Structure 1
Amino acid sequence: MKYTTQMDAARKGITTPQMEAVSRKEMISVEEIRRLMAEGKIIIPANKNHKSLEPEGVGQGLRTKINVNLGISKDCCDFELELEKVKKAIALKAEAIMDLSSYGKTQQFRQSLVEMSSAMIGTVPVYDAVGFYDKELSKITAREFLDVAEKHAKDGVDFMTIHAGINRATAERFKKNKRLTNIVSRGGSLIFAWMEITGNENPFFEYYDELLDIFEQYDVTISLGDACRPGSINDSTDASQVEELIVLGELTKRAWDRNVQVMVEGPGHMAINEIAANMIMEKRLCHGAPFYVLGPLVTDVAPGYDHITSAIGGAIAAANGADFLCYVTPAEHLRLPDLEDMKEGIIASKIAAHAADIAKGIKGAREWDFKMSDARMRLDWEGMFGLAIDGEKARRYRESSKPEFEDSCSMCGKMCAMRNVNKVLKGESISIL
C-alpha cells in the first residue's frame, strides 16, 4: 500500500522503517508509535530526500529531544567553521540541527548539511529569502517566499519553521496591545514588516494550502513558528502570544487534514510560575501536537549565562509537556556562538531534557542515573566518565587535581564517604589521619 507521508502511513496502518527505528530507540511498541502518529501526537521528521538521516521521534511518551541552531550570516560567513559545528553537534548527539543561514552560499551550505547529517535538519525559509533573491524585503513577492520553501524541501530539509500564525488580524492585536520588547522573533519580525510595508496578508497564511502541497510531496514536517513569542518576562502570556497560539491550533488541524506532520513552537522568555500553564494551554489549543520551545528563559538579566536561564526553563517546560528543546548558548543576545558556546548550550539543554524525562517517567531515563550512582558507590571512575553527559570534561576535572589515594578525590581525600562506608560494610578498618 502506498503512502505520502509518515502520518499518512500511520493512518493507513503501515509501519515504516522510520517508525521501526524510533520504536527500537524509545523501547515503545511500533503499534503505539503508529497510533500516536496517526493522532498527530508524535512526529518523525524525515524528508524523502534526506538519505543520511537516522530517524528520531518527537512527542508524547518519547525522550525530550534537543535542537542546535547554526548557519552562515553576513557578519559571520565562515562556511567551514559552521560545518565544524555540525560535526561537533552530531558527535554530542544532538537530535536536530537548524540551519539559520541568511547570507552567501546558503543552498550549498544546506545541501552539504543534509548530505552529512544523521540528525534531522530544520530551516527557516523566510531568513533565506532576502539573501537568495538579493533584494529588499519589500520587493519579495508572495510566490517567491513559497518558492524558497520548495527549494528547501527539495534539498532534503526535514522540518521548516513557518511563521503562518502572524496574519493581519494577529498583527492588529499586537499593535493594540503594546509590549516592552515588541516582536523578537526574527522570522516573525520579517513577516510583520513585509505585511506592514506591502499592505498584503502573510503569504504563508494566505497560501497555506499551497505550502501544504509542497510539504506533503516531500514529507516535510511543518514547525509552526511563534512570531509573537515573548522577548521578555514582561510580555509573556499576553494577548498577542495567545491569539497567535489559537491561530496555530487551527493551522495544525488543516495540516493534519493533508497528512502533514506538525509541531508547534513556543516561548520565549517567561517567569517560572507561568511555564506549566503555558504547556497545558498549547497542548489544549493545538490538539496535542508536539511542542517545541526556545528556553523558556526564566529571567532577562543574565547575558553570558543564558544557557543556564534556558536550561532551568526548559527542564520545567519539558517536565510539563514540552517535547523538543531549542538550545540556547552563553552567547545568546550577544553574538554568533563559537564552538565552545555551542558545546555549552548543547550540554545545558541535554541536562534539562534528561531531568525532565526523569520527571515524565520516560523509559530508561532513571536507569541511566542508577548506573551512574552505582559507579560512584564503587568509585569506578572510568565507569562514571563513560556514563557522564560530558565525560570529556569530567575526566579533565579529575585529572587536573589528583588525590593522594585513587579511591577518593581531592575534595574529601581519606574522608570520602563512599570509600569509608564501603570499607566499614566490608568489615575493614579505616584510617582518616
Structure 2
Amino acid sequence: MDAGAEARSYLLRNDAHDIDGVLLGRPHPPVLGVIIGVTPGETTPETEYDKAVRAVAQGAQTLTDVTTDGDPTLRRRVLESLNVSYGTVPTYEVFRRIRRDGWAARDAVLTVLEEQADEGVDFFTVHASGTPETARALGASDRVIPVTSRGGAMMVEVMDGPGGENPYLGCFDEVLELCRASGAALSLAGTFRPGSIADAMDAAHLAEIEVQAELVRRAQEKGVKVSVELVNHVPVHLIPAYCELGREKLHGAPFGALGPSPTDIAITYDHVAGAIGATTAALHGTSWVTCVTAGEHCRIPDAEDIVTAVKYFQIALHIAEVGRTGDLSRDAKLSRARNDNDWTAMAELAVHPADAQAMVERQGYHHGEACTMCRGTCPLVRGKAIRARQR
C-alpha cells in the first residue's frame, strides 16, 4: 500500500485543445514525455517541429516546449496540428517581460499564462516553489551545483536582493483560477532540484518539496490539476526514497521524473543512464517520465537523438510495468516465438516492431531457422529435436 493520501489522476488536456489527452496519475501507466524548444542561434521552429512530429509518431505522450526567445511559432503550430498533450515553461517569457520590458511581476505571470491558456496549452511547468530564504541560503551551501534549472536560475535572480519575491507566489490564487477555468494543469518544477547526484536529498531540495506540498494542497482545494517534478539527478538507491516522499507528502498528486539521471558520468550516454533511472522511478510510483537524450547537458539533441531516447525509455517503462503488475504475458509470448524460431511473431511482439522486422529482413531469417549467434549449435533447434524424440 502507498503511504499518504489516495492517489489522484486527471486528463492532461486544456478544455480549448481538441486532442485526446492522456491520463496522469498512479492508477495509470506512467506517461512518457519529450522536451522540444527553440534556443536562438542553435535551432529553429521548423527543426523543433520536426522533432515533435517524430517523437509523437514514436509514441511520446507529452511535449514540453522550452523555447526561450518568446517566439510563439512552434507552440501554435504544435497546438494546431498534433494530437498530443502539450506544455510550456512560462518562466522564460515571464522573466523576459520582467527584466527586459520592465513589467510588474504579477502582470507578467498572469498575462503570459492567460495568453497561453487561451491558445490551448495543456500544462504549465512553473517555478513557483523556490523561496527567497532558500535562494539566499545558496551562498553558504555546499551544493556541487547550486542551481541546475534554467527557469530556477531566472527565479533566483529575480528573488535575489532586498524585497525579492517569487513572482508566482504573490498571485498564486489567480494562477489557480486561470488554470481551473481553462482546464490547464500545473506542473510544479523544482527550482532547487539537484543537478548532481551528490546534491540529492539535500536541505535545499527537501525544503522546496515542503513548499510544493503546500502548493499542491492549495491547487487541489481549488479543483486544479496539479503534479510535481520530483525525481531528477538522484543515485539509484535514493530513487525509491524520493518516490516515498512523493507518496507521503504530495496529497496523492502525480509526481514525475526528468530522466531521472542516476549518475553524472554518462556523458554521451545519458539516455542509457536515464532509462535505467526511469525503470526504477516508474516501478516505485512515478506517474510521468521525461526522456533525456544522449547529449543531455552537452548539446541540443537532433531528431534522431530524441527518437532513440524515446525507444530506450519505452523499454524502461515496459520493464517497470512488468515489475508493477507482474504481467509477463507479452514477454512469454515472445519467448515462445523465439523457442519456435518464429521470426515474424518475434518482430510483431517486440517493443519496437519495425526495428525488429528490419533486422529480420536484413539477416534474411526464415521461420524455424537459427540465428547467426549459434547456427548449427542453436539450443532452441536442438531442444525441439530432443522433445520430438521424447514424445
Instruction: Report if TM-score (shorter chain) is over 0.5.
Output: yes
Distance 1:322 1:194 in 2: 31
1:292 Cα shift? 0.9
**Contact 1:263 / 1:289 at 8 angstroms: preserved in 2?**
yes
Counterpart contact for 1:74–1:104, Cα < 8 Å: no
Displacement of 1:174 in angstroms is 3.5
Matched with 1:207 is 171
Change (3 A) 1:162 1:417: same
What residue is the counterpart of 1:17 in the other structure? none
Q: Aligned partners of 1:313 and 1:358: how far apart in 2? A: 16
Aligned to 1:264, the other structure's residue is in SS state: strand
Contact 1:403 1:413 in 2 (8 A): no
Kept in 2, the 8 Å contact 1:123–1:159? The answer is yes
CA gap 1:428/1:401 in 2 versus in 1, 3 angstroms: farther
Q: 1:322 aligned to 244, 264, 286, which one?
A: 286
Structure 1: runs of 5+ lacking an equivalent: 1-37
- Report matched runs for 1:177-216 at 5 Å: 177-196=141-160, 199-216=163-180
Alignment of 1:268-279 (within 5 A): 268-279=232-243
Deviates more, 1:388-397 or 1:163-172: 388-397
In structure 2, the residue matched to 1:29 is: none
For structure 2, the 5+ residue unaligned runs are none
Q: Aligned AA for 2:271?
A: H
Name the aligned partner's letter for residue 218 of structure 1: S
For 2:154, the aligned partner's letter is L
* Structure 1 residue runs of 4 or more that deviate by more than 6 Å after TM superposition: none
Match in the other structure for 2:128 = 164
Structure 2 residue 11 is the aligned partner of structure 1 residue 49: no
Q: CA RMSD in A?
A: 2.3
8 Å CA contact retained: 1:159, 1:220: yes
Could you say which residue in structure 1 is the equivalent of 2:68?
102
Q: For the residues of structure 1 that align with 2:269 and 2:133, how far apart are their CA atoms?
A: 36
> 1:404/1:40 Cα in 2 relative to 1: closer, same or farther (>3 Å)?
closer
Q: Are the aligned partners of 1:315 and 1:353 in contact in 2 as well (CA < 8 Å)? A: yes
What amino acid does structure 2 have at the position aligned with 1:172? R
Deviation readout 1:33-73 (Å, 9 max, x if unpaired): xxxxx96621211101110x122112122111110000112
Superposed, 1:16-415 pairs within 5 Å as 41-51=8-18, 53-103=19-69, 105=71, 107-129=72-94, 133=97, 136=99, 139-142=102-105, 143-196=107-160, 199-361=163-325, 365-402=327-364, 407-415=369-377
- In the alignment, residue 417 of structure 1 is paired with which amino acid? P
SS in 1 for 2:12: coil
How far residue 360 of structure 1 moved from its aligned partner, in angstroms, is: 1.1
How far is 1:177 from its partner? Answer: 2.4
SS at match of 1:427: helix
Corresponding letter in the other structure for 2:16:
N
Q: Deviations over 1:261-285 (max 9, x none)?
A: 1111013211111111111012211
399-408 vs 261-270, greater mean Cα deviation: 399-408
Contact kept in structure 1, 2:261 and 2:277, CA below 8 Å:
yes
Task: Please say if 1:419 is aligned against 2:385.
Answer: no
1:198 shift after superposition:
7.4
1:219-259 residue CA offsets vs partner (Å, 9 max, x unmatched): 11110111111001111100000000000000001001110
* CA distance, structure 1, for counterparts of residue 243 and residue 100 of structure 2: 34
Given the two structures, how large is their TM-score scaled by the length of structure 2? Answer: 0.92
Q: Which amino acid aligns with 2:24?
A: V
CA-CA distance at 1:199 after TM superposition: 3.8
Question: Are the structure 2 counterparts of residues 215 and 371 from structure 1 closer, same or farther at C-alpha, using a change threshold of 3 Å?
Answer: same
Q: Give the secondary structure class of the aligned counterpart of 1:268.
A: strand
Equivalent residues of 1:405, 1:414 under 8 A apart: no
Matching residue's letter, 1:49: A
State the aligned residue count.
386
Aligned partners of 2:344 and 2:367 also within 8 Å: no
What is the identity, as a one-letter code, of the residue corresponding to 1:259?
A: G
Tell me how far 1:115 sits from its aligned partner. 1.6
CA offsets per residue over residues 203-222 of structure 1, 9 Å max, x none?
11121101111101101111
Instruction: Give the partner amino acid of 1:165.
Output: S
User: d(CA) in 1 for partners of 2:353 and 2:142?
Assistant: 47
Q: Identity rate of aligned residues, in percent? A: 31
Q: CA deviation at 1:128?
A: 3.2
How much has 1:181 moved relative to structure 2? 0.7
What amino acid is the match of 1:147? T
Residue deviations 1:288-341 (CA, integer Å, cap 9, x gap): 211111122111111100011111111111111111111000010111100110
Helix, strand or coil: the match of 1:57? strand
Contact 1:138 1:198 (C-alpha < 8 Å) held by counterparts:
no
